[in-house]
Structure formats: C-alpha cells, structure tokens
Structure 1
Amino acid sequence: MDNRPNIIFIMADDHAAKSISCYGAGINHTPNLDRLATEGMKFNHCYVTNSICTPSRAAILTGTHNHVNGVMTLDSKINKYIPNVAKHLRTGGYQTAMVGKWHLGEGEDHEPTGFDFWSVVPGQGEYYDPEFIEPSGIEVEPGYATDIITDKSIDWMKKRDSRRPFFLMCHHKAPHRSWECDEKHKHLYKDPVRLPDTFTDDYKNRARAAKVAKMRVEEDLTYHDLGLVQPDGGDSVGTKLLPKWWFKERKVPAPDDVSKLKLIDKDDGTVFTFKSKAELTEFKFQRYMQRYLRTIQSIDDNVGRMLDWLDEENLTDNTIVIYTSDQGFFLGEHGWFDKRFMYEESFQMPFLIKYPREIKPGTVCDDIICNVDFAPTWLDYAGVRQPTYMQGVSVRPLLQGSTPTDWQQVAYHRYWMHRDIIHEAYAHYGVRDQRYKLIYWYNEGFGIEGTRAGGQPKEWELFDCQEDPLELFNCYDDPKYADVVRKMTKLLEDKMAEIGDEPVHPPLPPIANGTSKVAL
C-alpha cells in the first residue's frame, strides 16, 4: 500500500480572491471554500507570472516561466512532448487525471499528456450542455458545466486503484466571462455591492497604459456580458436574431444623454431606463457583479461536494486539496473588469490549501509564492525528484509553518500578449517584493484609435504598496524613492537573469559619484 498523499488541484478561471469570503471583502459568501482556509492555510501573496489564462496554465503544468515553456499568449499552444508535472508524477507511481478547462490547444499535437484519464472542454467551453473532448472523441454532456466537471472528477476517483495515490487537476470554466449562472442561483446577490474605492479612477499619476486599456465597466462590457437584449435584435424576447459573434462582442453604449436608452433583460424582458450616465454605469457594475458572483456559487457548492466525498471515503487525512484561480480579476477596481495587468487585483491569485497531516488549521501565510512553485510542491509531497528545468521552488516549508531565511520574497510578472486590439493592454514586466512593486511598460500594443503604440514613450511605475495599497500614485520619479528605484531595478534584473528572460529596458543612469552602484 502506497501511503503518499493524494493531490487534488481545483482551479477556477478568473476568480478574484476578493470574491472568496475568507479573504474578507464581504461581497459574497463561500462557506465551502472557506473550509479550506479554516481547515488549512490561506495565502495572501500568491502571484501569477503572466496574468492571462493560457500562459498561467502552462506555468502551473510545467513549473517554468512562459518564455521557457513557449506559451506566452492566448493563441499559444503547448507542445505535448515537453515534460510536465503530471508526467513526473505518473512515472513516480501516481494515477493522474485532467478534467475541465484545458485551454492549451486542441488537436493531436496539443492534447493533454501525462494523464491516465482526461476529459476537457474545447477552448473556453460552454456553461450549459458543454462538449467534452476525450481520447475516444467528442461528446455533449447535458447539464451545467461546474456540476459536470465535478461529477467527472468524482467518478474518476471512484474508479481509481485505491492502492496507489492519485493526482487530479479539476479545472472549472466558471467564473469566466460571460458569467452564466446555474438557474437555481439566479435569485442570489440582488442587494447592491459596494462600489470599490477606485471605481471612478481618473488614472492620473500613472503610466499611459492604465488610461488606454479597454477593460472599463462603464464602456467595454457587452450586451452578452450583462445578459441584455440589444435594441435592434438580440438573444430572446421575440426579437430577431443577430449573428452570435455580433451579439457577444457588441458593447452596451455609455452615452452622456441616457434619456432615450432602454435596456432589456434577455430572460424576463424587464426594461431598464436611466436618469444619468452615472446611474447607467452603476447599473452595469451591479449587473456584472450579480452575474459573476452567481457563477461562483456553483463552484462553492461543488467544492463542498468534493470535500464531503473525501470525508465519506475516509480520504481527507491523506489528501492535499488546493483551490486557486488561473489569475486574479478586476471587480470594478480602477473602473475595470478583466485581468492582464500587474496591478494587484489581477496579479494576486487566491490560494487555499489543506492537508491535515501537515498543515495546521486556520493558518495564514504572508510570504510570497508564485504559480511556478505549484509543480515543485506537488513533486516534493509525492517524493518525486524535482527536475532541473523547473524554475519554481517547493512551498512545503511555508506549509509546515517555517519560512526559510533565504526565501526569495519576490514575484516576477511578464505580460507578452501585446497585440490584442480588443483590450489594448500594453506589454510590461516587473517585480514585487513585500513592500514595493516596479513595472516597466514597453508599450508594444495598440493605441486608442487602433494604431500601433510602439512609438509611445516607454514608462516605469513604482508603487509603495504599504503607503499606497490602492496603487494610485506612481512614485518612480519622486526623489525620496531614488534608492528604492535602484534597489528594485537591481532586483528585477537579477530575477530576469536567474530565469533567463531578456530585459528590454535601458540601464539606469549613473548615480552622483559616477558609478551605477545600486543602493540596497
């Protein structure tokens, strides 16, 4: 009998930490996710190395940064022949399975490898009656995606060889845009959610990238996002149908004069009118939050199902259960939805983990970890050698309640997907330590009118996350932070050298004594 721990990795898509109640924002209630925190450990500073779906998944699977694994944008596809953590665990005697959202490419050359069983949705997948791709072909599963993904995960565990440990990756589609909830949750979250303090951010004292990004609640949510019928045709209520792509992409207008604007709920035909642009903007925010939080409720329900099943099977004590998201998400902060940026709301990943044999219940960790650290941690617990190509480190000492003196309190981020004309998010990279965040925007992207922004000046941002936790004031050019700028630049360059990423920023000018020595 092999007594090594089972490992269940549950990952949602675009789940902001603030929408898990144990993180304290107070906007929703997730009792089953909270169980992971009360019975295990909650991390406050887990970070993604690239705040976009496909690259994050590749970093988690391989334990490497995206310039190494080659998956740098949403259009990237993983090479099925490169090594990954599932292959190492399977070689080490684990049974392995991948269920749900894969999003690392489709077809024979990009299908999941290293798994004894896999059943994945194509692309983003659908919320209702989703298709699943398996080695035997494609089939439609009737029902709601979050329930089905959990059903498939539990069914596989029931059929496993109970004499050997298992590794399960259970990847939910929810709460990805366009936030379509289970029918049974449509009555939830009708009370208004408090507007974030930065909702009306004017983007002063920041890099140009913040101002030009097209991720604003006020302007960039579509009819489909908000479950509304378009004035000239839509998805229901007896109006003529437009092409599906048009319905999904067309944005709800934000005119200064809203007196003639009428919005219609696509499910029940309720008509909404507005007296001011501000009232319309808040309507969009509340509608967005309702839809987003309702999809999360199904995740919470199904995490509860998974935990209850482990209890019933007497597997709880010897099973590591992890819950996270592929990155963070903006819930109206800075007026945004979506992710992509190194700003805290999209940079931070929720990370909850329980393992009764080793993790003290109700503990909180404030050390910095990153998604490239997940794979080495799993190998550590499995007693499988960490291969030299992996760039992360095992976080097991932190889970045991001890922070090594040489723990690297730094998170590196690089967003490569800079040719996205839809969101206009500029390319950037940077580092964060326990207090400061340094970002370099090299501005390869599109300008406001859709022209290439390569001619825009390159920009630096430095945030003092202790004094300015909302990240409203770029202090890069403040003379009081000159030494911090040099320290953080040195930290950035050292980290890039360590992981083999090539910088594109210019060197700092010499300091007064004629050297380029960095103040530490």
Structure 2
Amino acid sequence: MKNNIILILLLVSGINFQAQNKPNLVIIHTDEHNLRTLGAYRATMSKEQGQIWGEGNIVETPNIDRIANEGAIALNWYAPSPVCTPSRASMVSGLYPVATGSPVNDMPLKDEVVTFAQILKDNGYATAYVGKWHLDGEGKPGFAPERKFGFTDNRYMFNRGHWKILGENDNGPFVDQEINKNGGGVWDHDKVDRDNFTTDFLVDKSLEIIERDKNKPFCLMLSLPDPHGPDQVRAPYDTMYKDMKFEVPLSATKSKEQIPGWVNLNGKKNIVKEAKLQRGLTNYFGMVKNIDDNVGRILSYLKENNLEDNTIVVFTSDHGDLYGEHGKLNKGLPYEMSARVAFMLRYPGAVKAGKSVEKALTMVDFAPTILGLMNIDQSDNEFHGIDASKDFSNTQKEVKDNTRIVYLTNAGGRWVAAVNSKYKLVLSPSDMPWLFDLEKDPNEMTNQYNNLEYKEIAIKLEKELYAQMEMYKEPLDISKLKK
C-alpha cells in the first residue's frame, strides 16, 4: 500500500512538473491601433516621428511598455493585409489571407483551417478566446460561434462590432446598447462604468478564465475591439486628454506629385479636418490609456499568482490607423501606420529583456513563431510563414536583418507591396511603382523608384514580390501592374 502511495505521488508530481514546464500563452490583441501611441515604439523614433500630432501630445503606456522592456519588441511587424478579417485569419492560421477563405472583411474562415489554438489544444492546453473574432462571416454580434477553431472556451468570443457596453445574464454575455439602423451601438455615456465598459468587462472575464485554468498549461487570446472607432471611452478616460491641441500630421499636406494613385482622397489633397482630429484623438488616447491600465491588471495577476516566469505574454494588433497621416483615417493602405503593427513579447528566462528584432515579419509568421517558442512540434503543419522563434530567443540584444522581404496585399486589387527592414515597394494598377526609403523618409513622401541610386534595391524587391505573389496565389493579375 505504501509503495502504491509513493508511486501515485511520483506520477502526480511528474504530471505537475510537466505542466509547469509547458509555457502558458496570453495574447493581448487590439484593433486598429496606431503604434505611435505606445511609449516603447516612440522610444525608437525621433521626437518628430513620435509626436506627429504636436509636441507633448502623447499618451503614456507604462504597462504595455513593460512587455517590451522585460522582453522583446519587433520593429517591423506587419499585417499581411491591413484590414481586420484577413489579418486575423493569417494570425491564427499562419497562412496568407487568400488561402484562409477570409481575404476581405466578413468572409468566414474555411472549415479546414487549422489554427495555432487547435495545435495547442491537441498538445494538452486549455484554450480560450475572449473578444472580437471577425472570422465567422457577417453575424453581428454573434457570441460564441459554433465553429471554435481550437478555442475550447469561446463563450465571450463575438464575431463583429465595436460595442462599448457589454453585460451578462443567465443566458450569457450580451451587447447592452441600443443598436441603431446601421448596426452600431448607441452610446449612452451615463450608462457605462468600470464594470460594463467593453475593455474592462473582457479583461475581467479573461482573468476569471486564467484563474480557472492556472493549474494546467493554458492559452488565452484576448481580442479587444478598441481603440477602433467609434472613438468613445468611459470616464475618467474621456477627459484625460481634452486639453491637448492636436495638429494635423506633416504628411497630410502634400503636393499632387506626392500622392500615389492608390490613395483615394476623393479628389482632395487632404480629407482630415483639424476639428475631427481634435475630437477623435482625445478619445482615442483615452481608449489606449484604458487598455494600458487593463494590461497592468493582467501583468499584476500573473505576478501575484506565480505565473509570470512561465507565461509568454504577447501584445499586438490586427492593423494600424493612419489617424490623419497622408490625409487619411483608418487603414487599408500600405503606409507604415496602416500596415505596421505593434508586436511585443515577454517570456522571462527564454527571451532577453530589452531585445529588439528588426527583421521584417508579418502575422503569417505568428503561428509558427509562437509554436516554435513553445517547443511545439510543427512537422504536420504547412505554414506560409516562418518560425522566427530563434530571433526572439537567441542571445543577441539586437537582431538586425534586412534580407527578409515580406509580401503585403490588398484584397481590393488596388496594390501589393514588398517590404524589408529598410525599404518598401508598392505596385498598383492605378499608378507607377513607388519605392520608399523608410530610414531616410519615414513620412513616406518621396518616390525613389526612378532614382538610379535605388535601382538595385527596386529590382530586388520587385523580383521577390512577383515570386511571392505567384507562390501564395495573389489574386491581383501581375500583368495589370503599371511599370
């Protein structure tokens, strides 16, 4: 009997030891997030670039910055297609958007797509998804879709919408707003508080799930619908930045020769009005601050529950938001603040604190990279992306690599682009090729394509872009691209 008890104890301790050595994964994923609002990224920029809306007009993000300061920051991480659905599809699958069935917004993910969550589930992980999904077609809000794609607990997953007030009753979560004729929520400022504002609500539910699963390997993806519009946030965040006088970014005032044909300004040089910028950014900054405070709650919970050292924390976004740059709002263009997104990763003991990765990467690389970092076998999966886990886990403080060229696409057929850590080439049926020197021209104002000094670079990017368009079955016909 005594021997049996010893054997059982050894088996249980062995199971616990194995569970403890499987790293947990927490992904914090925001929507339409301009990375200039994050201190860790501003620290890598000139003052002019870090404060494009006017000197001193910044939002401090100490909690999000901690992830980079205590781990790694990727300086050239892109959305493979800078709109919601295709970027999210690529992130969960490791495939380019056209292969997922979701190359444009509101197109459902193919049933046969295998996600990183499914792979983790098959490897013994408890998996959960909280927040906006946008991969189940047109359903809105669409709580708890039937197709879970490996996320065992998807009670708080909703398909579409940027709802500001959520609630929960015996039937589950619900949108606690009047829905207008356009399908959006009517903002009732007096009704919203700390308990029902969407970001706070979703973080509360995430912490409840982690508490439930903390004694086994777990993966939780938290997808916050902010700071995507509508630009509304609860008190006190709605008034924190009201005294700032926001300026229209420099790149919004361009000559006709500086506006590519693939930028639709409705015949105008600039469609961004200063008053709209003032109203919007006051609340946009407030949303970012609210997100940062909630990230602090998550990090504190992990520390207090002795989960910090064995949990990978990722902070990223589906795409950016130009917010006045180039005379535009929102996303959908190959410009940096539309297509480039924040990507920070903390994994104590495995990833060097304060590390920077300058290699060009995209959401297509997320699944193979995160699984590689977690030592999960990937031999049965055919990803389009690469496993860049060694770039994050090696002993180098700075990973500099301008050889990797990634391909970006626009499902509407307006443009395709090739990017490395220094240059970007954009091809389109509506204009001549545009080549940007991202180091010398961070505002992306000057076309260097016909500059003889850049001829070799242009040829290299163009050749690689054509090769990847063919490899990944880009729907835009190469013969339609202007030379």
Q: What range describes the TM-score normalised by the shorter chain of this pair?
A: 0.7 to 0.9
- 1:400 aligns with one of 388, 393, 401: 393
**1:83 maps to which residue?**
114
How far residue 341 of structure 1 moved from its aligned partner, in angstroms, is 0.6
Evaluate the alpha carbon distance shift between residue 368 and residue 483 of structure 1 in structure 2; reply closer, same or farther with a 3 A threshold: closer
How far residue 395 of structure 1 moved from its aligned partner, in angstroms, is 2.0
How far residue 137 of structure 1 moved from its aligned partner, in angstroms, is 6.0
Cα RMSD, aligned residues only: 2.8
Rounded Cα–Cα distance in structure 2 between residues aligned with 1:89 and 1:153: 18
- 1:375 aligns with one of 367, 380, 387: 367
The aligned runs of 1:137-176 (5 Å cut-off) are: 139-140=174-175, 143-160=196-213, 162=215, 164-176=216-228
Rounded Cα–Cα distance in structure 2 between residues aligned with 1:109 and 1:13: 20
**1:55 maps to which residue?**
86
Pair 1:411-2:384 in alignment: no
**1:315 maps to which residue?**
307
Evaluate the alpha carbon distance shift between residue 314 and residue 56 of structure 1 in structure 2; reply closer, same or farther with a 3 A threshold: same
**1:254 maps to which residue?**
none
Q: Give 1:427's aligned amino acid.
A: R
Cα deviation, 1:174-224, whole Å, max 9, x if unaligned, reads: 0011111112212211222344221323442342122536999745xxxxx
Evaluate the alpha carbon distance shift between residue 428 and residue 150 of structure 1 in structure 2; reply closer, same or farther with a 3 A threshold: same
Q: Give 2:231's aligned amino acid.
A: W
Pair 1:127-2:119 in alignment: no
Rounded Cα–Cα distance in structure 1 between residues aligned with 2:402 and 2:455: 26
**1:21 maps to which residue?**
39
- 1:390 aligns with one of 383, 400, 403: 383
How far residue 72 of structure 1 moved from its aligned partner, in angstroms, is 0.7
Q: Give 2:446's aligned amino acid.
A: F
Q: How many residues align?
A: 424
**1:201 maps to which residue?**
254
Kindly indicate whether the alpha-carbon contact (under 8 Å) linking 1:80 and 1:109 is maintained by their aligned counterparts in 2. Answer: no
Percent identity for Structure 1 against Structure 2:
29
How far residue 480 of structure 1 moved from its aligned partner, in angstroms, is 4.2
Rounded Cα–Cα distance in structure 2 between residues aligned with 1:428 and 1:196: 24
Give TM-score scaled by structure 2 length. 0.81
Rounded Cα–Cα distance in structure 2 between residues aligned with 1:463 and 1:365: 21
- 1:210 aligns with one of 263, 266, 284: 263
Rounded Cα–Cα distance in structure 2 between residues aligned with 1:486 and 1:140: 51
Rounded Cα–Cα distance in structure 2 between residues aligned with 1:127 and 1:391: 35
**1:329 maps to which residue?**
321
Provide structure 2 residue ranges, at least 5 long, that are not aligned to the other structure: 1-15, 43-49, 52-57, 177-194
Q: Give 1:115's aligned amino acid.
A: F
- 1:117 aligns with one of 148, 153, 162: 153
Kindly indicate whether the alpha-carbon contact (under 8 Å) linking 2:77 and 2:341 is maintained by their aligned counterparts in 1. Answer: yes
**2:183 maps to which residue?**
none
Kindly indicate whether the alpha-carbon contact (under 8 Å) linking 1:122 and 1:131 is maintained by their aligned counterparts in 2. Answer: no
How far residue 490 of structure 1 moved from its aligned partner, in angstroms, is 0.8
How far residue 491 of structure 1 moved from its aligned partner, in angstroms, is 1.5
Kindly indicate whether the alpha-carbon contact (under 8 Å) linking 1:4 and 1:381 is maintained by their aligned counterparts in 2. Answer: no
Kindly indicate whether the alpha-carbon contact (under 8 Å) linking 2:318 and 2:341 is maintained by their aligned counterparts in 1. Answer: yes
**2:474 maps to which residue?**
501
Kindly indicate whether the alpha-carbon contact (under 8 Å) linking 2:95 and 2:384 is maintained by their aligned counterparts in 1. Answer: yes
Kindly indicate whether the alpha-carbon contact (under 8 Å) linking 2:70 and 2:353 is maintained by their aligned counterparts in 1. Answer: yes
Provide structure 1 residue ranges, at least 5 long, that are not aligned to the other structure: 220-280, 419-425, 444-457, 511-520
Where 1:304 maps in the other structure, the secondary structure is helix
Rounded Cα–Cα distance in structure 1 between residues aligned with 2:333 and 2:425: 13
Rounded Cα–Cα distance in structure 1 between residues aligned with 2:214 and 2:265: 54
How far residue 97 of structure 1 moved from its aligned partner, in angstroms, is 0.3
- 2:462 aligns with one of 445, 468, 489: 489
**1:351 maps to which residue?**
343
Give TM-score scaled by structure 1 length. 0.75
